[in-house]
Amino acid sequence: MKSLMFALMTAILAANEPAHGLEASPAGNAEAGAAVFKRCMACHSVGPDAKNGVGPVLNGVVGRAAGVYPDYSYSAANKNSGLIWDEPTLTTYLHAPRKLVPGTKMTFAGLSKDQEIADVIAYLKQFDAQGQKVGP
C-alpha cells in the first residue's frame, strides 16, 4: 500500500512540474523586448523591410520551423534540428544557443535574464511572416 501511495504521489508531483524542467516563464513585455532586441540587430532584423544579414530575418519566427527562412544559409545543425521555434524552445535557445543546437552558426552566447528573454519573444511575436505588426 505504501508503494502504491508513493507511486501516486510521484505521478501527481511529476504532472505538476513545468515542461523540460523549466520554471514558468515570466510574462513578456513587447516594448521592453524592442530594447532587448537592439542587441540582436547586429545580425537579425524584423519588419517589412527586413533582410537576411549575418543571421536570418526573424519575421514570423515564433511558430516557424528552424532553418527554413528563404535565402539564408543555415548551418546543417540548425536545418536538421527538427525544432519549431515555439516560446519554450526559443526560451531555451536564447539562454544558450549552442547548447540546444550544437553546431549552430549563432555566436551570441545567450541572454541570462528570463525577463529579457520573455520580453524579446513578446516583441518578436508582434511580427507576422511579412514583417507586419499583428499585435499591440
Annotated domain spans of the chain = 26-125
CA distance 63 to 88: 11
CA distance 77 to 97: 11
pLDDT for 5:
36
* pTM given for the model: 0.80
Question: 11 or 29, which is more confident?
Answer: 29
| Residue 23 scores a pLDDT above 90 | no
Distance set, CA 45 to CA 39, 51, 110 (Å): 11, 7, 17
For 48, list phi and psi in degrees, rounded to 5: -65, -25
pLDDT in tens, 103-128: 999 999 999 999 999 999 999 999 99
What number does CATH give the domain 26-125?
Answer: 1.10.760.10
| Residue 15 scores a pLDDT above 60 | no
Nearest CA among 71, 61, 56 for reference residue 105: 56
Helix axes 114-125, 87-95, angle to 10 degrees: 130
CB atoms within 10 A of CB 105: 18
- Looking at the DSSP bridge assignments, the partners of residue 65 are 84
Distance set, CA 62 to CA 6, 25, 108, 127 (Å): 40, 15, 19, 9
